[in-house]
Structure 1
């Protein structure tokens, strides 16, 4: 059967470019998840408390969130090939630094640099395909690239657990080096250096305000339970972050060249979607960090077994993809998000019922169900948020959503780590399982309360 003009098979001359972008997507997806199962082993090697190691995840995710607004401007100003090549070099060299790190502080510095490179990989790779590949073949290209994005989270936790057992945690970063070198070679060959003839000046003042807001709130929450920092220091960071966010809100309203203009939020559906995305992702995005930590620190599971147990979550996510569209079309965004937000919250809280003796088959089924519900939640929220944006706001609206998703992940992981430490201090070190259970119930309740946000979705919202 011949392909229709609206959806043609990908031509051979574009396959190398898609393969290149897939490498970047895979590296970023892998690095976001591979660390989670290795954290306890990293803590032992570095002489740190495993419950204080959430900064390794937060540092990477936060730097990704902070640099997302830079990606489009850099690509337009210096060209997609130059920027993408630089991103791979930064990411690869930072991975080498992470692999050679001998202290937590040294590792955190390289994780921040790695996040800067990671922040540019996916947006600029997608932008390159958008500028080079004809629209009739773009869907085929995106479908092929998305497979690489799914493979990273699928194998990341298991690969991380396996490498910790057969080698050392350093290799979870060092495996990026051959992929990075291959990516550099293909970038020179396959990616044209497309630039824009006119580029607006970058909103550096707005960018700095956003960075202060994100870093202040995330780091303030993360340092809240740190034995090395006072409560006043954490409170000051959070206050500075919130003040910077408030100043940026005024800046976005008054500055003509602001990164994200305030008029975006005049769209009611977009505003609800952004706020809902932020709060609904706090619990869901913290689970890939919190569950492996609980399985190893509280239940005594080996890293490799922990990684294997994470696979049903990704399989559940994949299994839900074919039916999400039909569910939304049948029940509408409001009903789906109201009910599913409650279900996700209840599912997160229900992990507090598990113990070290929970049967493996029941645990795997539990993870599978969570993966399905979480995938339905994320896809529904994202689609709702972007569906009514006018064309002229689509780019900035999508970038702001991407930034909010990463900020929510950063704050979610920081909050989960802080809660575990607070509850451990309250119950005592001998009741570490109770501390994890209390954290899960708390995060589940946040998700359940978030349903109130989605109740604001108009009942007649079209699908």
Structure 2
């Protein structure tokens, strides 16, 4: 349900902008507000699960997400839609992290990758059918239907939670770090707002610099606060664990490039190439199919080569794949776009599998909730920043020209793809600090020992 909602909206952005009488780039707030809400509320998901139990929190998350979907479908303007997306994010913030906590506490590390594949592959059905469904809906039905389609999934999900969700909880959870929650949430929210207004040039340089300094001051205040609290909201001391630190920091930078692709690709296909929404959605099917296929063989790849070598090489290839979308123009044949989309989905899936499993490689079960909260928060922050940076780059390269003119839109998007691909390639250096044996306990990699004679 969550992945379907995220991908179904991307394809509908041009149609929604026309119906709401706003520029397509202005609707990035509809996308970033959801991921922003996720990043703000994910930090307390681990505490919520420890305090109230995974079963109760997961059920409440599905309910809130469904109500947010209903509110999105009833929205009449952009501010209402953004507020409804924030409500969706509140529910979504408790879904994936709490589900991962239940998995980590239920299975040993040697089985974790296999178990996560069983969970992730069905979840990829959302990205598989989302863009096409979104394109067909906005072509034949009102755009509000893309949100209302979540409601039957929500009802079914609540039944599944009631019947099958395990209930793990901490018998003596610490009190919630309210001050830390306020400092971090305010700092990150303000920083995301700065990125948004900077891309739209609504404020001068002075106010933007002032807001950015205020955002960083709040975040630094949280870091200072967390050092003096016994049980902070986000236990940053976990970053001393090398594998955890590399997966979080490296994953943050890598996802900046990937995070902007779901926003930029529909603009390229629909505004640049002139495809209808349903046809633009078809181009995402190869990417989703490749992602599902990689989840099946991802464990074998990591077991053969190890996390360090896979992450270094795959990150470089991923950046190259993102940059290659700059070669797509109005005369590009379909048979060239489809393999490129498949290649991108294959690499992105392997990247996420490698980074997400490395998070828990050297973290014990007692720290699983904290590790999951930090990793999920960083992931959503990077995806939110990726959408904002992608829109910012597109607006920057457009230079204020008419965004609906394909001859001007395509070159601007090409430059954005090249820039984001270059950032992804540079992020590969963060994985050089890994050791060749890091992550072997989750990939079940057997290292051959050569005996000297």
Q: TM-score, normalised by structure 1?
A: 0.86
**Residue in structure 2 matched with residue 47 of structure 1 by the alignment:** 21
**Residue in structure 1 matched with residue 446 of structure 2 by the alignment:** none
1:436 aligned to which of 377, 392, 413: 413
**Relative to structure 2, which stretch is displaced further, 426-435 or 245-254?**
426-435
Q: Equivalents in 1 of 2:72, 2:372: separation in Å?
A: 31
1:324 matches 2:298: yes
Distance 1:110 1:231, change over 3 A: farther
The residue correspondences of 1:364-383 to structure 2 (distance < 5 A) are: 364-383=338-357
**Kept after mapping to 2: 8 A contact 1:217/1:411:** no
**Relative to structure 2, which stretch is displaced further, 39-48 or 117-126?**
117-126
Give 1:135 shift: 11
CA displacement 1:354-384 (0-9 Å, x = unmatched): 1122111110000001111111222222233
Give 1:67 shift: 1.1
Please, which runs of 5 or more residues in structure 1 have no aligned partner? 1-26
Q: Secondary structure at the match of 1:301?
A: coil
**Residue in structure 2 matched with residue 284 of structure 1 by the alignment:** 258
1:275 matches 2:249: yes
1:293 aligned to which of 237, 256, 267: 267
Q: Secondary structure at the match of 2:399?
A: helix
CA displacement 1:189-246 (0-9 Å, x = unmatched): 6657765442210111111222123212222112212243334443333322222222
The residue correspondences of 1:208-223 to structure 2 (distance < 5 A) are: 208-223=182-197
Distance 1:299 1:138, change over 3 A: closer
**Kept after mapping to 1: 8 A contact 2:243/2:358:** yes
**Relative to structure 2, which stretch is displaced further, 205-214 or 349-358?**
205-214
The residue correspondences of 1:126-275 to structure 2 (distance < 5 A) are: 127=101, 144-184=118-158, 187=161, 196-275=170-249
Q: Secondary structure at the match of 2:260?
A: helix
1:70 matches 2:44: yes
**Residue in structure 2 matched with residue 16 of structure 1 by the alignment:** none
Q: Secondary structure at the match of 1:357?
A: coil
Q: Secondary structure at the match of 2:175?
A: coil
1:445 matches 2:419: no
**Residue in structure 1 matched with residue 331 of structure 2 by the alignment:** 357
1:101 matches 2:78: no
**Residue in structure 2 matched with residue 5 of structure 1 by the alignment:** none
Distance 1:382 1:124, change over 3 A: closer
CA displacement 1:132-173 (0-9 Å, x = unmatched): 999999999766543431211111111111100010110000
1:335 aligned to which of 309, 317, 336: 309
**Kept after mapping to 2: 8 A contact 1:219/1:234:** no
**Residue in structure 1 matched with residue 380 of structure 2 by the alignment:** 406
The residue correspondences of 1:304-319 to structure 2 (distance < 5 A) are: 304-319=278-293
CA displacement 1:385-422 (0-9 Å, x = unmatched): 43122443333112211111111100000100111111
Give 1:188 shift: 5.0
Q: TM-score, normalised by structure 2?
A: 0.88
**Relative to structure 2, which stretch is displaced further, 74-83 or 34-43?**
74-83
**Residue in structure 2 matched with residue 14 of structure 1 by the alignment:** none
**Relative to structure 2, which stretch is displaced further, 439-448 or 251-260?**
251-260
Distance 1:83 1:329, change over 3 A: closer
Q: Equivalents in 2 of 1:194, 1:338: separation in Å?
A: 36
Q: Equivalents in 1 of 2:161, 2:311: separation in Å?
A: 41
CA displacement 1:236-279 (0-9 Å, x = unmatched): 33322222222222222221011222321222232222110000
Distance 1:263 1:122, change over 3 A: closer
Give 1:338 shift: 2.0
The residue correspondences of 1:29-48 to structure 2 (distance < 5 A) are: 29-48=3-22
The residue correspondences of 1:81-92 to structure 2 (distance < 5 A) are: 81-92=55-66
Q: Equivalents in 2 of 1:63, 1:288: separation in Å?
A: 18
Give 1:298 shift: 1.3
Q: Secondary structure at the match of 1:35?
A: helix
**Residue in structure 2 matched with residue 3 of structure 1 by the alignment:** none
Q: Equivalents in 2 of 1:140, 1:374: separation in Å?
A: 18
**Residue in structure 1 matched with residue 447 of structure 2 by the alignment:** none
Please, which runs of 5 or more residues in structure 2 have no aligned partner? 441-453
Distance 1:140 1:313, change over 3 A: closer
Give 1:108 shift: 0.3
Kindly tell me the number of residue pairs found equivalent between the two proteins: 437
**Kept after mapping to 1: 8 A contact 2:16/2:143:** yes
Q: Equivalents in 1 of 2:375, 2:104: separation in Å?
A: 19
Q: Equivalents in 2 of 1:387, 1:186: separation in Å?
A: 29
